[in-house]
């Protein structure tokens, strides 16, 4: 029995180490992917060791069945629509299949005791800080770091995780406060320097999540007034900077030019053109979409032939998650994507006002993940990237494990 206990303890330490690597090494793609696959192997090993946990895998599935099927729904929509189209394209399966592994990853991460799960906060602090350091030294193009938008989106989440996870400590030291706030500042630095406007839109909701986490009696009129005053002041300072004003003016210019010449080759104009083309694809193929991979690219070429698009864009997506999912997989794709956002988001949102601050913090981390991806998807397609599926799946699992294990602790069950 002692041998089994030691084996379980070592396995849990490996899982914690892999989570640290996945979140804490600056969003390095190879590290993220390797950590994810090793976590899956650890999950399979845990499944074979039935004595390692008093909750069976099937019991966990029954308890959170809607959550499991919501996270697997995009993969199911892909299988359904490809079957209806009568072809097999394996390329989209690699990223979407990662979301479907949510339940075994959750089962494995929930094995960690709450004290070990709390240590994840240092991976978020380290990850946000390393992202800021990487961006500082990253090559610039047109006065901006030449980096993918998904990286900026995930770095912003690490920054808010860093701040929210400060609430996981009952009595944080001054050094701990500085470290967590430093991680948050690192995430804000990445957002500011990279000038990714769709990420800016998520900031007010992230701030709201932090308010609900740290403030007792958040519906006090006095506290609401002070909070809104602080938000308005911070927003005014943020948008008064030259860099932000340039980006806002550029957006206004692009929209004005597009209203005159719809074929204008601008950042926003290109997105508007792709959105219009995707909307036409949806109206013409509402049930199962135009298909994924090469089929979507062929549909884009057809839009060029029909003079709906002025030129062929080889970006392979619509620059909008909902439009892209619906255009490629029809109504099943739309429903699946909404389930992927809203079902886990609902589980987390229910606990944003929990009496226990640590439960609120874990719920806020999960909620920011869901709402953040929803907002980031307005101008990008994050679920096209393997790194984003891994981050979404594991971050939701870690937040859910923190939340439920803390509740077990409060109930005296652990």
**Percent of the chain having pLDDT more than 70?**
94
The number of angstroms, rounded, from the C-alpha of 83 to the middle of its chain's C-alpha atoms is 29
CB proximity list for 160: less than 8 A, separation 6 or greater: 184, 187, 206, 209, 210, 365, 368, 372
Residue 396 confidence class, pLDDT cut points 50, 70, 90? very high
Residue 300 confidence class, pLDDT cut points 50, 70, 90? confident
**What is the pTM (predicted TM-score) of this model?**
0.93
Residue 348 confidence class, pLDDT cut points 50, 70, 90? very high
Q: Alpha-carbon distance 374 to 371, whole Å?
A: 5
pLDDT over 60 (residue 24): yes
**What is the DSSP track for 208-261?**
HHHHHHH-SSTT-HHHHHHHHHHHHHHHHHHHTSHHHHHHHHHHHHHHHHHHH-
pLDDT score, position 49: 72
Only one residue has tokens 């206004």, namely 252
Neighbours of 198 (CB within 10 A): 18
Of 207, 199, 191, 161, residue with least CA distance to 378: 199
- DSSP-derived 3-state class of residue 4: helix
Long-range contacts made by residues 37-44, C-beta under 8 angstroms, separation at least 24?
A: 38/14, 39/15, 39/105, 39/108, 39/394, 40/101, 40/104, 40/105, 42/11, 42/14, 42/15, 42/18, 42/108, 43/101, 43/104, 43/105, 43/107, 43/108, 44/104
* Alpha-carbon torsion (332, 205, 103, 62), positive or negative: negative
Q: Alpha-carbon distance 19 to 34, whole Å?
A: 11
Q: Alpha-carbon distance 383 to 393, whole Å?
A: 11
Give the residue, 35 or 12, on which the prediction is more confident: 35
pLDDT score, position 413: 66
**Interval 238-293: pLDDT, tens:** 778 887 788 878 878 778 877 777 666 777 878 888 888 899 999 999 999 999 88
pLDDT score, position 240: 80
Give the residue, 405 or 91, on which the prediction is more confident: 405
Q: Alpha-carbon distance 187 to 160, whole Å?
A: 7
**Phi-psi map region of 217: left, alpha, beta (phi>0 left; psi -120 to 50 alpha):** left
**Percent of the chain having pLDDT more than 90?**
54
CA angle 168, 157, 408 (to 5 degrees): 30
pLDDT over 80 (residue 95): yes
Question: How long is the chain?
Answer: 414
pLDDT over 50 (residue 1): no
Q: Which helix (H) or strand (E) holds 140?
A: strand 140-141
pLDDT over 80 (residue 219): yes
**Interval 62-72: pLDDT, tens:** 889 999 999 99
Average pLDDT in the chain: 88
Cα–Cα separations (whole angstroms), residue 182 to 132, 151, 159, 187, 189: 10, 19, 9, 9, 10
Domain ranges of the chain: 2-246+318-410
**Interval 125-153: pLDDT, tens:** 999 999 999 999 888 777 778 788 899 99
pLDDT score, position 50: 60
Neighbours of 278 (CB within 10 A): 27
Q: Alpha-carbon distance 390 to 144, whole Å?
A: 26
Neighbours of 280 (CB within 10 A): 17
Of 70, 51, 15, 23, residue with least CA distance to 340: 70
Least confident of 13-17, 272-276, 340-344: 272-276
CA angle 238, 242, 248 (to 5 degrees): 75
Residue 4 confidence class, pLDDT cut points 50, 70, 90? very low
pLDDT score, position 3: 42
Largest CA distance in the chain: 75
pLDDT over 70 (residue 51): no
* Alpha-carbon torsion (167, 173, 174, 180), positive or negative: negative
């Amino acid at each position: 029995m002692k041998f089994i206990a030691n084996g379980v303890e070592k396995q849990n330490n490996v899982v914690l180490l892999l989570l640290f690597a996945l979140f804490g090494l600056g969003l390095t793609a190879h590290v993220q992917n390797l950590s994810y696959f090793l976590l899956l192997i650890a999950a399979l090993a845990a499944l074979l060791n039935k004595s390692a946990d008093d909750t069976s895998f099937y019991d966990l599935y029954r308890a959170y069945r809607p959550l499991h099927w919501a996270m697997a729904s995009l993969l199911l929509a892909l299988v359904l629509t490809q079957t209806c189209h009568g072809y097999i394209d394996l390329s989209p399966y690699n990223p979407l299949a990662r979301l479907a592994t949510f339940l075994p990853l959750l089962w494995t991460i929930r094995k960690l005791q709450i004290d070990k799960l709390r240590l994840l906060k240092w991976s978020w602090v380290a990850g946000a800080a390393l992202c800021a350091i990487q961006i500082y030294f990253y090559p610039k193009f047109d006065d901006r770091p030449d980096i993918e938008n998904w990286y900026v989106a995930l770095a912003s989440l690490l920054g808010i995780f860093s701040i929210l996870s400060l609430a996981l400590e009952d009595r944080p030291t001054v050094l701990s406060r500085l470290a967590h706030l430093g991680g948050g500042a690192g995430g804000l630095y990445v957002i500011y320097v990279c000038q990714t406007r769709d990420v800016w839109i998520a900031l007010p909701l992230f701030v709201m999540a932090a308010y609900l986490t740290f403030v007792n009696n958040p519906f006090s009129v006095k506290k609401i007034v002070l909070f809104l005053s602080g938000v308005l002041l911070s927003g005014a300072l943020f948008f008064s900077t030259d860099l932000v004003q340039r980006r806002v003016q550029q957006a206004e210019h692009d929209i004005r030019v597009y209203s005159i010449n719809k074929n204008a080759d601008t950042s926003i104009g290109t997105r508007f053109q792709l959105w219009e083309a995707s909307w036409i694809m949806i109206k013409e193929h509402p049930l199962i979409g135009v298909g994924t991979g090469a089929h979507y690219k062929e549909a884009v070429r057809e839009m060029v032939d029909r003079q709906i698009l002025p030129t062929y864009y080889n970006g392979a997506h619509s620059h909008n998650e909902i439009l892209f999912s619906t255009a490629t997989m029809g109504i099943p794709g739309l429903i699946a994507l909404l389930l992927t956002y809203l079902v886990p988001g609902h589980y987390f949102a229910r606990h944003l006002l929990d009496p226990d601050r640590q439960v609120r913090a874990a719920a806020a981390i999960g909620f920011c993940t869901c709402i953040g991806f929803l907002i980031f998807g307005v101008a990008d397609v994050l679920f096209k990237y393997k790194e984003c599926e891994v981050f979404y799946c594991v971050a939701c699992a870690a937040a859910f494990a923190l939340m439920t294990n803390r509740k077990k602790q409060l109930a005296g069950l652990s």
